[in-house]
């Protein structure tokens, strides 16, 4: 029955002159997202984006299109020739199916008249079509309710064709990927950082990722897990450049020279600096972390202050005021949760102190760093880093 999808987009509609650039980007991103299930005709018509589908593929296609950043909703519709009787018949067909499938007892017809020369106004169309479907429904308990209907059937009489549709599936919203610069995400194997990276990408930002490991202290599998997470993200974000950085020498240097309770904060400052330097060389203008106030010892307000002070690039922390339970909900929804909870050692967990400082003082931390060859350690870690490209298929 359905032969077309309408992709609805929100915010990009208000971008004035740039609107068509955003729309074209969105069309390209929709096409890319659909690639995994086949070739689709995706096109723009009168400020709307359509995708041609058929009975065999529309459900799968909807599920892909709703994942594209910038799409607020996807609506399966029936497109037919421009004929008012056909439009009425189609509305009846759709309502009949909805009544058969669910416990629908009340409905409403909403109409749109694209062709302004048509004899009826949209209001008159709604009344006329409503009367027609009501008198032709076998189920006589179904009624019109214009205030609070269980289902709204929208009928459009457009310049080239007619369209009939009822419900839509919500998308994530946001802005089309590739319309807002690039950020470097610090990606651990945990629950939070994939979510924070996804949230920034949702605002149209291209992302790259950096992961710190302590191979051979941490095993090959913990790196594979991070690749798996990047792969899931790349479904939404396109191919991701993942920078693998070995920080074993840094961890050792900290362990040998500094106070044990400062280990975590010190290594976090190294991570930030390395991410910033790699980020600069890759034209990124911000760092992204999965930190959230008070979640662990290194994420107290003082801990965040010390971490932040190690870099000059802006650090975006989309999860900063979120509770773990809400972060988990997003992780489950976007499909990273199952992978994130696989138990693997992280470079931090290996060297984490029994009693980390929860109120580190920046002067003390900076003093501890004077015992280390900070520049040399960073330089060598970056020189030995490996850049991989992770993509979905």
- How many Cβ atoms are within 10 Å of 386's Cβ, its own excluded? 10
CB of 194 to ligand ATP, least distance (A): 7
Beta bridge pairs of residue 389: 241
Judge whether 295 is annotated as a binding position: no
Site string for ligand ATP, 261-280 (x = CB under 6 A): ----------x---------
Minimal CB distance residue for Mg ion: 190
If the CB atoms of residues 29 and 289 are measured against ligand ATP, the closer one turns out to be 289
For residues 168 and 271, the answer to whether their CB atoms sit within 8 Å is no
For residues 153 and 108, the answer to whether their CB atoms sit within 8 Å is yes
Could you give the 3-state DSSP secondary structure of residue 80? Answer: strand
Q: CB-based burial of residue 177 (10 Å sphere; 0-12 exposed, 13-18 middle, 19+ buried)? A: buried
Q: Is 234 in the site for ligand ATP (CB under 6 A)?
A: no
Residue 178 site contact among Mg ion, ligand ATP, none (CB < 5 to 8 Å, cut-off depends on kind): none
Q: CB-based burial of residue 38 (10 Å sphere; 0-12 exposed, 13-18 middle, 19+ buried)? A: exposed
Beta strands 4-9 and 71-81, pairing class: antiparallel
If the CB atoms of residues 130 and 290 are measured against ligand ATP, the closer one turns out to be 290
Q: Is 190 in the site for ligand ATP (CB under 6 A)?
A: yes
CB of 199 to ligand ATP, least distance (A): 12
The pair phi, psi for residue 220, each rounded to 5°, is -60, -35
Residue 347 site contact among Mg ion, ligand ATP, none (CB < 5 to 8 Å, cut-off depends on kind): ligand ATP
Radius of gyration of the chain (CA): 27
Judge whether 187 is annotated as a binding position: yes
Q: Is the peptide bond preceding residue 216 cis, with omega within 30 degrees of 0?
A: yes
If the CB atoms of residues 170 and 301 are measured against ligand ATP, the closer one turns out to be 301
Residue 290 site contact among ligand ATP, Mg ion, none (CB < 5 to 8 Å, cut-off depends on kind): ligand ATP
Residue 208 site contact among Mg ion, ligand ATP, none (CB < 5 to 8 Å, cut-off depends on kind): none
Least Cα distance to 64 among 104, 88, 32, 89 occurs for: 32
If the CB atoms of residues 177 and 186 are measured against ligand ATP, the closer one turns out to be 186
For residues 8 and 74, the answer to whether their CB atoms sit within 8 Å is yes
CB of 290 to ligand ATP, least distance (A): 3
Residue 163 site contact among Mg ion, ligand ATP, none (CB < 5 to 8 Å, cut-off depends on kind): none
- How many Cβ atoms are within 10 Å of 325's Cβ, its own excluded? 7
Query: Can you tell me the distance from the alpha carbon of 201 to that of 330, in angstroms, rounded to the nearest whole number?
Result: 14
Residue count, binding to Mg ion (CB under 5 A): 2
Residue 176 site contact among Mg ion, ligand ATP, none (CB < 5 to 8 Å, cut-off depends on kind): none
Beta bridge pairs of residue 152: 108
DSSP-assigned states of every residue in 121-166: -HHHHHHHHHHHHHHH-S-TT-EE-SSS-SEEEEEEE-SSEEEEE-
Residue count, binding to ligand ATP (CB under 6 A): 21
Query: Can you tell me the distance from the alpha carbon of 327 to that of 330, in angstroms, rounded to the nearest whole number?
Result: 5
Q: Is 347 in the site for ligand ATP (CB under 6 A)?
A: yes
Site string for Mg ion, 167-206 (x = CB under 5 A): ---------------------x-x----------------
Residue 241 site contact among Mg ion, ligand ATP, none (CB < 5 to 8 Å, cut-off depends on kind): none
If the CB atoms of residues 77 and 191 are measured against Mg ion, the closer one turns out to be 191
CB of 384 to ligand ATP, least distance (A): 15
Choosing from 6, 187, 201, 265, the residue that interacts with ligand ATP (CB under 6 A) is 187
Beta bridge pairs of residue 183: 207
Query: Can you tell me the distance from the alpha carbon of 194 to that of 199, in angstroms, rounded to the nearest whole number?
Result: 9
Judge whether 212 is annotated as a binding position: yes
Annotation: binding site for ATP = 186-187, 211-212, 268, 290, 299
Task: Point out which residues bind ligand ATP (CB under 6 A).
Answer: 186-188, 190-193, 210-212, 271, 289-291, 295-296, 298-299, 346-348
Contacts with Mg ion by CB under 5 A lie at 188, 190
């Amino acid at each position: 029955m359905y032969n077309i999808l309408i992709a609805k987009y929100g915010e990009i509609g208000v971008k004035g002159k740039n609107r068509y650039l955003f729309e074209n980007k969105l069309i390209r991103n929709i096409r890319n997202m659909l690639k995994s299930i086949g070739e689709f005709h995706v096109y723009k018509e009168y400020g709307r984006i359509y995708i041609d589908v058929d009975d065999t593929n529309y459900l799968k296609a909807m599920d892909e299109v709703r994942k594209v950043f910038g799409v607020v909703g996807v609506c399966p519709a029936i497109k037919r020739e421009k004929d008012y009787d056909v439009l009425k018949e189609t509305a009846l067909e759709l309502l009949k199916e909805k009544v058969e499938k669910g416990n629908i007892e009340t409905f409403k017809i909403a109409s749109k008249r694209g062709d302004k020369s048509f004899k009826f106004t949209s209001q008159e169309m709604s009344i006329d079509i409503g009367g027609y479907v009501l008198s032709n429904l076998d189920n006589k308990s179904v009624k019109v309710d214009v205030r609070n209907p269980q289902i709204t059937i929208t009928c459009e009489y457009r310049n080239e064709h007619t369209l009939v549709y009822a419900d839509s599936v919500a998308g994530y919203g946001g802005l089309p990927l590739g319309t807002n610069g690039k950020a470097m995400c610090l990606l651990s194997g945990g629950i939070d950082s994939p979510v924070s990276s996804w949230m920034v990408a949702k605002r149209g930002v291209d992302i790259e990722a950096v992961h710190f490991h302590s191979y051979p202290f941490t095993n090959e599998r913990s790196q594979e897990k991070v690749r798996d997470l990047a792969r899931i993200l790349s479904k939404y974000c396109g191919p991701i450049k993942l920078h693998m950085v070995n920080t074993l020498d840094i961890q050792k240097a900290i362990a040998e020279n500094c106070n044990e309770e400062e280990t975590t904060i010190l290594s976090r400052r190294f991570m930030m600096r390395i991410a910033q330097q790699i980020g600069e060389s890759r034209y990124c203008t911000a760092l992204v972390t999965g930190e959230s106030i008070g979640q662990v010892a290194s994420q107290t307000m003082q801990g965040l202050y010390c971490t932040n002070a190690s870099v000059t690039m802006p650090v975006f922390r989309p999860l900063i005021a979120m509770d773990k339970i809400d972060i988990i909900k997003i992780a489950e929804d976007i499909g990273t949760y199952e992978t994130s909870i696989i138990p693997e050692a992280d470079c931090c967990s290996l060297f984490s102190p029994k009693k980390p400082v929860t109120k580190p003082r920046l002067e003390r931390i900076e003093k501890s760093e004077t015992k280390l060859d900070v520049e040399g350690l960073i330089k060598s870690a970056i020189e030995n880093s490996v850049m991989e490209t992770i993509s979905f298929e």
